[in-house]
Amino acid sequence: MGNDLELYDVTVVGGGPAGLYSAFYSGMRDLKTKIIESEPHLGGKLNVYPDKTIWDIGALPPTKTSEVIQNLSTQATTFEPTVVCGEKVTDITKNHDGTFVIETSLQRKHFTKAIILATGYGILRQAKLSVQGAEAYETENLYYEVPDIEQFRGKDVVISGGGNSAVDWANELEPIAKSVTVVHRRDAFGGHEQFVTKMKNSRVNVMTPFAISGLTGCNQGKCIEQVQLEHCESKSCQIKRVDAVVVNHGFEVELSFLDHEPLGLKVEESKLQLNDRMQTSVPGIFAAGDLANYNSKLPLIAGCFQDAALAVNSVKQFVEPTANEYGMVSSHHEKLTQ
């Protein structure tokens, strides 16, 4: 078993926006920092949608996700934290001296005084389309990710889903696709109201309450040619010809390492219950981002930045009880003013 015997002040578990900003801000507070990310690259869930446009980060114009990841990663490494990618955290234990041991899927151990859990909703797997035989089309024109929107130019596209991602992709594809149809089981959509209104006022065909109930293939059964759409109440069906089907049914969550009984983390509905200092039920373990739950939680990327700064400030006082509650502003930091 490989061990990193070096003891860090704080280890950030998760390399998405909350984790990356935590790493940056912990550098601001002069904490010896490590990031552990389960995927091969930093960025977290943002990597699923590299071509998606993000609108709600302050001081940034509408920006492609891939650029946001690059900017966050560059910022996170300003103070040269140790970055470990491709290792899934499998267990966390607490030593008698109050430090923690983090074990990973590569059978390595990492040692740290404090932890910031920024895993988002955990190890994510796309929720698949529950239609018989759907997996046969995944190599051709059934998509769970959209790496390049240009591949949909001039095509008839059906999007299944009703959350932010489905709404955003409908608006992104509407100007370039021949047609876009959004199929959702409920009348209400989960996206931001402005973008839902934009979708409904565009030429996007919104079908509610409908669900995909069947797929018909061509090209020796490898490519979807038609979808069967079933009304969720009357059970009547329509057949629609398609060039591509995009499925945005959310993610299946895997947070098994949080269930370690002796640790005693308070988890409710796959979220950690925190106080206003981002402290979990275990002293020395803090959280930020989608995993964190507390009164007045703001489930936006902008909100996770505040979570991260609050968590880091709490870590600083946990590691150094005499430290100031808040750190200096960036314009006063020597490394950033050189």
Alpha-helical segments (H) within the chain: 17-28, 65-76, 164-173, 193-200, 301-319, 334-337
Helices (H) and strands (E) in the chain, counts: 6, 22
Architecture of domain 128-247: 3-Layer(bba) Sandwich (3.50)
Integer Cα distance of 164 and 201 in angstroms: 17
**Is residue 124 marked as binding?**
yes
Taking the C-alpha atoms of 58, 31, 85 and 108 in order, what is their torsion angle to the nearest 10 degrees? -150
Residue closest to 175 by CA, chosen among 194, 149, 196, 200:
149
Distances (CA, A) of 248 to 13, 127, 172: 26, 8, 14
Q: For the chain, list residues with pLDDT below 70.
A: 1-2, 122-125, 219-221, 252-256, 259-261, 328, 331-333, 335, 337-338
Q: What tokens does 207 get?
A: 């079908």
Q: Is the Cβ–Cβ distance between 15 and 313 less than 8 Å?
A: no
**Assigned CATH topology for domain 2-124+251-337:** FAD/NAD(P)-binding domain (3.50.50)
Domain ranges of the chain: 2-124+251-337, 128-247
DSSP calls for 34-60: EEEESSSSTTGGGGG-TT-EE--STT-
pLDDT for the residue numbered 106: 93
Count CA atoms closer than 13 A to 207's CA, side-chain side.
21
**Is residue 37 marked as binding?**
yes
**Is residue 45 marked as binding?**
yes
**Is residue 140 marked as binding?**
no
Integer Cα distance of 213 and 245 in angstroms: 13
Count CA atoms closer than 13 A to 199's CA, side-chain side.
29
**Is residue 290 marked as binding?**
yes
Q: What tokens does 95 get?
A: 């030593």
Integer Cα distance of 110 and 103 in angstroms: 6
Integer Cα distance of 41 and 95 in angstroms: 30
Other beta carbons less than 10 A from residue 74's beta carbon: 11
Q: Is the Cβ–Cβ distance between 74 and 88 less than 8 Å?
A: no
2-124+251-337 and 128-247 in the same fold: yes
Q: Please, which residues have CB within 8 angstroms of residue 331's CB and are 6 or more apart in sequence?
A: 337
Other beta carbons less than 10 A from residue 151's beta carbon: 13
